[in-house]
Structure 1
């Protein structure tokens, strides 16, 4: 799935501080790789596409996606904005009622299609949700409500039974939930089709995305070759592995960067370790206690979250991955978890990223650059977390999403979405990093704002349009900004999206 293409008359967007203003050039891609960049390149028999002086950037990457759940999420019931468990149950009851006519053909013994909801925020609810309340709202319809941070799930009895789980009173959280989350596809009507996958790739290409890092739970690295075989052909994928399958990857001899399929679009990604929880479930591991709340996993004062993986075990996993040629991606939300992640990178010499890096101790910011560890961050979480953070981490929010401080310290930022937690729209993510607001309020901690150039540089996987680079481009209708549109996308030398006519 590589091609030859000559893109004529494009204006490269400057990505580095010392880059001169962009002049108009041609870009020749041969065999999926940039071969030449310069003005007036002579055609050599390859297809051409005329950009008419528009701006061009390297293909965009989303550095943090849960691909299968994102594809599924296009059919999920939106639960964002619910203020309580009762509010959520009312929304579920309405959705179940709307389905009655659609399911009138089902016999009583037929499986009822599951209702999946997504987006509620436990941190702002006044009390913990109960299974019995969801049962009363849903009847025999299996219901799974996935929290907006994806660190907990609220299942009714029908869903618990369908998945072979025992009775329980409340939500599933952290590892117990992560064990169940990949199995949602076992519920009736929940699994995406081949057409769903193809359409998802097209939606990404329409935003200029040419690559994602997939952190789907389960064996995503095994599943991806079949997806490219049935039509996922517009976006590159790095597929991660979790500790439960690390032995399998090592036994197979896979190293980060190795090709996993015939198309060449799918490669082996890093080892992913979820070292702590999330702010929304009040399980992120922090140096200081949360503000007291009835939602605390351990009621009373002094609750500061907890590690999902002990520090010694985290270092062991990173060391083992490093020795086997695998990079590492460590989920760390709380400041204590981020410190432990950096300690593990320092102790093992492993290379990779801290995923989220949401709350940092000031003393740890310089360590990212010193260790060569990427801060893989999700700017769209920033406006989503703004109000909840002030409630659960009062006095600490100046150390949340410290993009400016990380850049000034020499760290590498990589932007992603954590889809389906946030939509996989790199332009919206860049705008959130630049504005630090998505409503009429001013910037949240404006001292941490970044420029559009810096935001774009954090969205292109470190690539520059030079010979030898991947043949991935996004052609824009204007200089990067809040209203930019993508006119064309090229992945591996193939035109995967265009709003204009066919290739000449």
Structure 2
């Protein structure tokens, strides 16, 4: 991005209806005045009434996974295990070399169950053929990243011998995803650069990255190579805490010269997901009678509380993944007991009595509104009778909670307008609104998507819109046009000048 030493946006319309001139210099907003009151400073960009909003953030991404996902076999439309296996088989036939990696399947509503034998057959339809490679791996990653489905060769390659189904969940799944290594670091970094450019074109100025590799090192490498399209908060996981603590830095501290990259929070995953039926809930999942009938508690309170306390002493925020109502409740207990600061990631199913605790404890609800649209049918089946408190965005806001929107990309696309539209309309694709009482206003949804404001002294992170979202229907809001994005006073996307 070329450096901009001084620039004035003239005739900018704000969401509150004001028409102003906005001057930026040195990466900050230096003046906001009524339109035409003062001469323009530096370069003059006439907005002629275009809406100007603060830069948008995605507060929950797995960026390297997102950068790679579009280049893998897409399974999002598969309606059964057999259907998904057929898609993988077609890809294997068209691409005879290398591992076959699919992404995006959602099996919670499938009529059949995934099994390694289906994927074995994908490489040799009708039975083992003479020219089939018995060591060619087939791996399918679920949309929520909490399940992987492997063929026999992939099971062996990852050390899972004599596995009964080939379907791995939670920690085993994460280990496989982390170990894939099917592309080089240089290639992933190039794809990350391309993904960042695409995000900038949708008005994104910053992300919080929860990739499972040690994200601070990955991002320092990218910034050293010239990456500058986004602000990045690079998180880390408990297994890397000693490496992160060795930096001896609190959350928010810059990790390189530009100041765009900072140390993010400690991420702790305490339960599973809805689609994998491992989110830890008060009530059992229908049809389940085993030890996992309530879901899975992967980090119990006696482990979570010490982690949060240790992080708090070091000035490091915590990002606690908790989806089920039981997991959210105990995560809030641990925040309260330790005085830690941070977020609960997802917070998809909540006890009513836990709603006000977010504000009381100063814990942000980091939520992904597009997941409500992805999961509404699954929730109606597996959280039947409880969906009035599922994805309760309005209830959280009314209880005083601070909301922070994200995508969880690649679980949902890295596009903040999808989250905004889902929060405002609670529907997509022509369906009736799902629990429309939980809708937010456009202003509230945008506020949950930004981390700055248009005021003197604020970062010059700005977005120029190509249409007025206040008049948009759901389809129009999901595809909201963006004509310019500015990060720290420099254009990361520019279709206006």
TM-score exceeds 0.5: yes
Partner of 1:4: 5
- Whole-Å Cα distance in 2 between the matches of residues 437 and 331 of structure 1? 25
How many angstroms apart in 2 are the aligned matches of 1:416 and 1:313? 27
Local SS of the residue matching 1:122? coil
Q: Deviations over 1:47-70 (max 9, x none)?
A: 332222211010000010000000
Q: Which residue of 2 aligns with 1:219?
A: 214
Q: Deviations over 1:145-164 (max 9, x none)?
A: 11111101112233345556
Are 1:195 and 2:190 matched, yes or no?
yes
What SS does structure 2 have at the residue aligned with 1:63? strand
Q: How does 1:309-324 map to 2 (within 5 A)?
A: 309-324=299-314
> C-alpha offsets along residues 116-161 of structure 1, whole Å, 9 cap, x if unaligned?
2111112112443222221221354422211111101112233345
Q: Distance in 2 between matches of 1:159 and 1:265?
A: 39
3-state DSSP class of the match of 2:311?
A: helix
Contact 1:314 1:344 in 2 (8 A): yes
How far residue 3 of structure 1 moved from its aligned partner, in angstroms, is: 4.1
The verdict on how the C-alpha distance between 1:242 and 1:249 changes in structure 2, with shifts beyond 3 A counting, is same
Q: 1:303 to 1:492 in 2, by over 3 A?
A: same
2:439 aligns with 449
Indicate the residue corresponding to 2:364 in structure 1: 374
User: Compared with structure 1, are the counterparts of its residues 200 and 188 closer, same or farther at alpha carbon in structure 2 (3 Å cutoff)?
Assistant: closer
The runs of at least 4 aligned residues of structure 1 exceeding 6 Å deviation read: none
**Match 1:175 to one of 171, 174, 178:** 171
Match of 1:53 among 20, 40, 49: 49
Q: Secondary structure at the match of 2:369?
A: coil
Report how many aligned residue pairs link the two structures.
476
In 2: Cα distance, 1:299 partner to 1:331 partner: 23
TM (norm. structure 1) is 0.90
- Measure how far apart 1:394 and its partner are: 0.8
Query: Residues 175 and 159 from structure 1, CA distance in 2 versus in 1: closer, same or farther, beyond 3 angstroms?
Result: same
RMSD after superposition? 2.0
- Aligned residues of 2:63 and 2:192 also touching (Cα < 8 A): no
Q: Deviations over 1:213-256 (max 9, x none)?
A: 00111201111011123342111100101011112211220210
Structure 1 stretches lacking a partner, 5+ long: 15-20, 101-111
Q: Does 1:136 align with 2:121?
A: yes
Name the SS of the counterpart of 1:211 in structure 2. strand
What is aligned with 1:479?
A: 468
Could you tell me which runs of 5 or more consecutive residues in structure 2 were left unpaired when the two chains were aligned. 124-131
- 1:83 CA displacement: 2.4
Counterpart of 1:89? 85
CA distance in structure 1 between the aligned counterparts of 2:352 and 2:447, rounded to whole angstroms? 24
2:374 aligned to 384, 387, 398, which one? 384
In 1, Cα distance between the equivalents of 2:47 and 2:330? Answer: 48
2:148 is matched with which residue?
153
C-alpha change, 1:263 and 1:155, in structure 2 (3 Å) is farther
Query: Measured at CA, do residues 466 and 6 of structure 1 come closer, stay the same or move farther in structure 2, by a change above 3 Å?
Result: same
Asked if structure 2 preserves the Cα contact closer than 8 Å seen for 1:113 and 1:189, the reply is no
Shift of 1:113: 2.7
Q: How far apart are 1:9 and its partner, in Å? A: 1.9
- Matches for 1:70-469 after TM superposition, within 5 Å: 70-100=66-96, 112-138=97-123, 139-140=132-133, 141-163=136-158, 166=161, 168-169=163-164, 170-184=166-180, 186-187=181-182, 192-292=187-287, 296=288, 299=290, 303-461=293-451, 463-469=452-458
- TM-score, reference length from structure 2: 0.91
Distance, in Å, in 1 between the alignment partners of 2:187 and 2:385 is 43
Residues in 2 aligned to 1:32 and 1:152: alpha-carbon distance in whole angstroms: 42
Tell me what 2:494 maps to.
Answer: 498
Query: 2:127 matched to which residue of 1?
Result: none
- CA shift, 1:81, in A, is 2.8
